[in-house]
């Protein structure tokens, strides 16, 4: 392969982490390509409003934010490719990402494939995503100020997020399929002391519905099998926050990368165990998965990719 056809940085994933990496890499004069299988912007593309990004635009939707981020990457010369990566080759001085019949080869690679929420798989869940159904309390909790909210799940995250939502909601009902929580007892005891949190145990959600916004939640007793429909008050709507876990998009990594439960293990410089391969955003093992931390990861990964090329003598190609 000629230097002209070789990228300095191949970024797999076009969410906030991948696009931030593209901005920093492009601004540094690195020949960069970003590959995304869905909408550029990633999960944030579907968010109704981004209210907690520092310096963000008031009332800006996830789609609008994604468009600005994408345009910023474009302005610094990063190429964008839409398509599904079917194979990665990470070992060696040249890394490959195969999309269809094309192999995008780079001196370095940044993996920013992200993670996706585990869904309940019930009717209405997809239709009301962003219209009452959410997978992120920090992102969407304030939109349900003074409203009734349901939290589905029984782990630490579900109970902790329920306590966060209780700051905004009129009432929070935690729905859990078992008679005991998987969450630590200390966390459950804290939730039990919150006046506007209630518990609906041995219960599952079977359907979500409404007219425009989410106004109906159908639940079923695990013990008896009986169903009932919980309806919002006239003119009101519900929020349903689903915390059934997150799934890292890590199917392509195989056994080459060090991972923990599918999440890539990196150091603070976003370096993986493979030289020249970096990871950024929600695919990393990390504490907080938010847009602000994803963009930070992407910036660090791009800077470190440039350092790697200089230190390894790989050099940088001309754009």
User: What are the catalytic residues?
Assistant: 136, 139-140
DSSP string covering 91-122 = SSSSEEEEETTEEEEEEEEEE---EEEPP---
Alpha-helix runs per DSSP H in the chain: 16-27, 62-75, 137-140, 156-165, 185-192, 291-312
Residue 228, strand partner residues: 219
Q: Is 35 helix (H, G, I), strand (E, B) or coil?
A: strand
Q: Is 192 helix (H, G, I), strand (E, B) or coil?
A: helix
Encoded tokens for 209: 């519905």
Alpha-carbon torsion 72, 274, 37, 296, what sign?
negative
Cβ proximity of 261 and 275 under 8 Å: no
CA–CA distance, 235 with 41 (Å, rounded to integer): 33
Cβ proximity of 90 and 278 under 8 Å: no
Strands 227-231 and 213-221: antiparallel
Nearest to 18 by CA among 249, 230, 179, 311: 249
Encoded tokens for 131: 């219209």
Q: Is 293 helix (H, G, I), strand (E, B) or coil?
A: helix
CA–CA distance, 319 with 317 (Å, rounded to integer): 6
Nearest to 236 by CA among 265, 216, 256, 254: 216
């Amino acid at each position: 392969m000629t230097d002209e056809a070789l990228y300095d940085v191949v970024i797999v994933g076009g969410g906030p982490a991948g696009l931030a990496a593209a901005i920093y890499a492009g601004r540094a004069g690195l020949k960069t390509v970003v590959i995304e299988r869905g909408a550029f912007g990633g999960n944030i593309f579907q968010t109704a409003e981004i209210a907690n990004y520092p310096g963000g635009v008031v009332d800006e939707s996830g789609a609008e934010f994604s468009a600005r981020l994408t345009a910023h990457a474009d302005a610094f010369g990063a190429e964008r490719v839409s398509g599904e990566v079917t194979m990665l080759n990470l070992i060696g001085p040249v890394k490959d990402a195969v999309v269809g019949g094309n192999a995008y080869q780079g001196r370095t690679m940044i993996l920013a494939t992200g993670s996706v929420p585990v869904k309940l798989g019930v009717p209405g869940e997809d239709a009301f995503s962003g219209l009452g159904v959410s997978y992120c309390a920090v992102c969407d909790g304030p939109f349900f100020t003074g409203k009734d909210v349901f939290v589905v799940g029984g782990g630490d995250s579900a109970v902790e997020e329920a306590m966060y939502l209780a700051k905004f909601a009129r009432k929070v009902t935690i729905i859990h399929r078992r008679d005991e929580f998987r969450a630590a007892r200390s966390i459950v005891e804290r939730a039990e002391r919150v006046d506007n949190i209630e518990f609906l145990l041995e219960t599952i959600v079977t359907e979500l519905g409404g007219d425009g916004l989410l106004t109906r939640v159908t639940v079923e007793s695990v013990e008896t099998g009986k169903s009932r429909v919980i309806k919002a008050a006239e003119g009101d709507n519900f929020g349903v926050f689903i915390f059934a876990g997150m799934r890292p998009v890590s199917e392509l990594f195989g056994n080459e990368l060090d991972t923990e439960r599918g999440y890539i293990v990196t150091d603070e410089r976003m370096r993986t165990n493979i030289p020249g391969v970096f990871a950024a955003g929600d695919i990393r093992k990390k504490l907080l998965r938010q847009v602000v931390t994803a963009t930070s990861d992407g910036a660090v990964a791009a800077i470190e990719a440039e350092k790697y090329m200089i230190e390894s003598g790989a050099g940088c190609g001309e754009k």
